Chains A and B, each alone.
Chain A
Amino acid sequence: MSLAECRSAGALEVKFVPDEDVLRHIADDAGIKVQKGKNQLIANPKRFVKKLEAISDDEAQEVLEEKSYVAVLGVCGEESMTNGSSVGGGEVYTFQTPKRSNKMAELASELAQTPGQSAVPDPSKCPEKTAKTPQSSKRSSSSQVQQKTKKNEFVSTTPYRLRKRLADAQLESESEYSASCSEEEEGEEAQKEVSTVLSHQKTPAKTKAVSTPPSRKTLTKKKDNMNDLVEEYFEAHSSSKVLTSDRTLQKLRRKRLNQQTLHDLLQKSPLAYAAEIKELNQQYESLFSKWMLQLHLGFNIVLYGLGSKHDLLEKFRTSMLQDCVHLVVNGYFPSITVKSVSVLNSITEEVLDHIGTFRSPLDQLEFIMKRFKEDSSLELYVLIHNLDSQMLRGERSQQILAQLSSLPSIYLIASIDHINAPLMWDQAKQSLYNWLWYETTTFSPYVEETSYENSLLVQQSGSLALSSLTHVLRSLTPNARGIFRLLAQYQLENKDNASYPGLSFQDFYQQCREAFLVNSDLTLRAQLTEFRDHKLIRTKRGADGVEYLLIPVDDSTLSDFLEKEDEDI
C-alpha cells in the first residue's frame, strides 16, 4: 500500500485504493437496502478518498498517471534500498486509525486473488445467516478457492461470506463504531464518485472487471494535517475496549503443535525464494573482508534488516575468524547475561585465563580493560547474535558491552532485529560502540532466534517446562511429589481467578498435614526450599505479610502435568 505523505506545506496525500474496495462499495450500493450498520462494516479500512481523479478507461493514460505518480513520490523500491532515508517517516508510523476486525479477512480475500484479477462479490450471494461451524466453512472455502483458481477466473465469494459471518458476530456492538462517522461520510462520498466513474463502464461484468487495472490512485487532500492526527489518536485510544471477534483457536479445533512437530512441519515445507535469498546472502558475503578491515580500523559493525542474520554471521565466523580468538554470544539465549554469568566470565576465564572471582561486573570490566590495554597482542573478536534481545537490552548490559567494544583490540560485530533496537543507545553509548551500520536483509526464517522463545504465543506446548517438571519431580520422594501436586491442584482450581495471589503458607501447611504429607512446618519448609532451588515454585509476600506460593508455569502445562502424573500412578 504505497502511500506517500509530503509533509511540506499544503501537504498532499496520495493513496492507492484497490479496485476491489471500490467495487465492493458499488456492489453494496447496488445490493439495495443495506443497513447503515452494514455499510459501516464494509467501509474501506483505509483513510478514505476525498477527491477522486477523473478516471478514464484508457489504459495508456493509466500507465501515464502511474508514472507521474511515481515521479511525485520520488520513491521506489530501488531507491529506498540505496538511500534509506527516502521513505518518509510518516509513511512508516502514522497514527493508528480505528480498524475493524473483519478487515483482516477482507484483505485476505483480496490477497487471495491472483494478482491482476479483481473480484466482484456477488451481492445476491450475501447470506445473512451462515451458521456453519468455522471448520466446515473453512473447508468449503479452501475447496472453492481451488476450484475457482483452476478456472483461472477467481471470484472471492467465500472469503466474502466469511467476512460477512464475522460481521454478524459484531452486529450487536456496532453502536460503538458510530463515533467515527466522519470516515463513513468520506466513504459514502467516495462511493458516489466511484459510482459515477463506474457508470462509464456500463457493464460491471466479471470480464470487464478483470480488464480494469488492479488499482486506481486517488488524490486525497489532507486538510488540517495535525488536527486529524490528534483526533485520530484519541479516537483510537478513547475506549479501552477493543472490538475483536470472540473466536478462539480452540473453536478451530486445531490440535496444538508442539515444538518438535512444528519444527518437523517447517522442515517439510520448502523455503520460499531460496534462490533469491541465496543471492542476497552472496552479496553480503562479499563484504566480509571489508568488515574485517573496518573492524581493524576501530569501527564496530552492526547488522540490521529483516531476516535471520545468524547464518550470515556464522559464515563470517567460519570463513574469517578461524585463526583468531573469538567469542560468540547468542543473545537470544534465554539466560544469557552480560553481568556476572556469561559474557564477562567467558572473557576473563577462557580468553584471559584468569582464575578468581570479582566483586562486581564493573570490577570485572575494569580488569578486562586493563588487561587488554596492557597487552597489545591480545585481540578478541566478539560476535553477538541479537544484541537487542530481552536479556541484553538493559541499560547496564549495554553500557558494559559498549565499554568493552570501545577497546581498540576488541572487535565487535552484532546483529539487531527489533524495530526499536536503536533506542537502546544514547549518544554516549553510540559513540562508545562506534557503529558502522550494514543492512543485511536476508529474509531467512528466524529459526534459532525463535526456538528459545518460550511464549510462541498460543501454540506454546510447554513441553520443555513440562519435561523439566517431570524430571525434577521424578527424583523426589513420593511425599514431596504429593506436596507439589496439592499446590498444583489448588492453583488449577483457582485458575479463573485473575487476582489469585497463590496459596498462603499456613493454608498449605494445613492441607499437607491433612493429607499426611508432612508432620511439621519445618519439614514443609525444607521441602519448599528444594522446590525453590529448582525454580518449581515462587514465593511472594502479600500485602499482609503472608507468604504466598505459586507455580510459575501456565495452567495448560500444569494440567498436562497432572494428567501425566495420574497416568503414571
Chain B
Amino acid sequence: AALNDRLRSQVSAALKEGRVTPTELCQRCLALIKSTKFLNAYITVAQETALKQAEESEERYKRGQPLGILDGIPIAVKDNFNTAGIETTCASNMLKGYISPYNATVVQKLLDQGAVLLGKTNLDEFAMGSGSTDGVFGPVRNPWSYSKQYKEKCVPKSHSEEEESNWVITGGSSGGSAAAVSSFTCFAALGSDTGGSTRNPAAHCGVVGLKPTYGLISRHGLIPLVNSMDVPGILTRCVDDAAVLLGSLAGHDPKDSTTIQDDFKPFELPNLTDISKLSIGIPKEYNVPGLSSEILALWSKAANLFKNAGAKVVEVSLPHTRYSIVCYHVLCTAEVASNMARFDGLEYGHRSDMKDSTESMYAATRREGFNDVVRGRILSGNYFLLKQNYEKYFVKAQKVRRLIANDFVKVFRSGVDILLTPTTLSDAAPYTEFIQEDNRTRSAQDDILTQAANMAGLPAINIPTALSERGLPVGLQFIGRSFQEKQLLTVAKWFEKQVQFPVIQLEEVKRHDTGIFQDQKSASFS
C-alpha cells in the first residue's frame, strides 16, 4: 500500500489482508517525518508510543479483530488538543513542557479505534493567526515550497537561496497539521477551526480541510480560542477519508454541554452521478477586494462546471458579510481575554520567578508566557468587556452575529443546498512577504472568506482545486446547512472527482515511498 492510498477502499483492505502492517506504516511515516523535518510541521514526535500502538494494532489484525477502518492508521494531532502523557504546548511558552493528564475526547476516540498517534503538530500560538508563523517553535513551511511543481515555476536562482527565501507559508493556524497531511507523513490530522484555521491551511497545502457543524464534534480537551465558534477540524487527502474521520469523531459528548444530543450515524459517501436536483449558491459578497484574479477565474470555472453538469447555479446575497471581520474581532478577543485568564502560573504551565507578590507573579508570568499576538487580543478583549463598553461592543457584535447567521438561514431556505466560494484570497505567500504585515492585519485579511461559517456554526470544507500560476495549490470552499455534512461531503466528493487535483511531487517523499506516485491522473482542473 502507498501513503497516498485512500483509507476505506485501499489502506484498510491492505491492512486486513496483511499486505502491509501497522508497524510498517508507522515506521514509514516516522521516517518521512524525520526527512521532512525542515518543514517544522511537528512540535512533538511520539515515536515510542506510536510504535507501541502500531504493534498493538498489528496484534489485532493478526487475530482478525481490527477495531475498525482507523485501526493502525497513523494520525497527527494539532498541539492545542490535550494528549495524556504527551506534551501539549499550543506553541506557547506558557505551556512548554506541559503534560496533560487527560486526552481530548476526539483524541480518545481515535485511540479507542486503534489509530496510531504520531505526534503533535505546529500552529500559531494558541491558534491565533492565519500563517502558522507565530508560534514559539518557529514557522511551518508549506511542503509545496519544495515541490517540483513550485520549483518549476520559480524564477531560477541559486539552489540554496531558492529554498531559504522562497519558501511559502502553510496558512494557519493549523499549518502543521495541513503540512503533515500534505507531505504524506500521516493519513489524517486533527486541526481546529475558529475563523478558518483548518480550511485556510488546507487550501494553501492542497489538502481537504473540513470544518464540521458546531456542536457535532466534542470540544472537550480542545484548548479553546473562542468557545462559541471553535470546532475540531479534519484534514485529509481526499473527501472519503474526511468522511471516515467524521464518522469516528462525531456524536454527543456528555463532557461537552454544547454538543447536540441527537444520535449521529456515520455514513459512506455515494458517488453522485446526477446533480440536476442540486442548487448551488454563489454569494456575490465573497467577491472581495483583494481576491486574486486567478482565484476569481477558478471560482467562475467551478460554477460553470456545476451548471454544465445540470445543477442549478444561482447568485445569492449574504448582505452582512462585510461586517463579519469587526464582529469577529470583538467576539473573538472578548472570549480570548476570558479563556486566557486561567494562565496565571499557579496550577500548571510556566511560572515566573518573580516572587514579590501574587499579582506581580501573575503579571510577569503572563508577560513571559504569551506572545504579543495573544497579549494584544487579551487587552482588546478586556476593553470590549468593560462595563461601559459591553453594550456598545460585545452585545452589538452578538446582534451582528445573529444577522450574519440569518443571512445563511434565508439563503438556505430559498432552496439553495450548498454555497460555493473561494477559501483564500490568493495562493500561499512567501514567508518573507507574509511577515511584512502583523498578525492582526493578516488575520483580518485572510479570515474574510472563512469566518462567517464559524459565526453561523455551519459546516464548510476546502477542496483542493487546481495549481496557481506559481505552481501552488488553490482551493475552493463549500458551505452546507447545519448538520447536513453528508450532503456537503457528497457534493464535495463529486467536485473532487471532477477537478483531479494533482499529487504533490516531493523529492523526500519519492525517496522514501515509491508507492506514492502510482495511479496519478494526468488531467488536472486548471
Please say whether chains A and B are actual partners in one complex. Answer: no
Q: Which residues of A contact B (CB under 8 A)?
A: none
Q: Which residues of B contact A (CB under 8 A)?
A: none
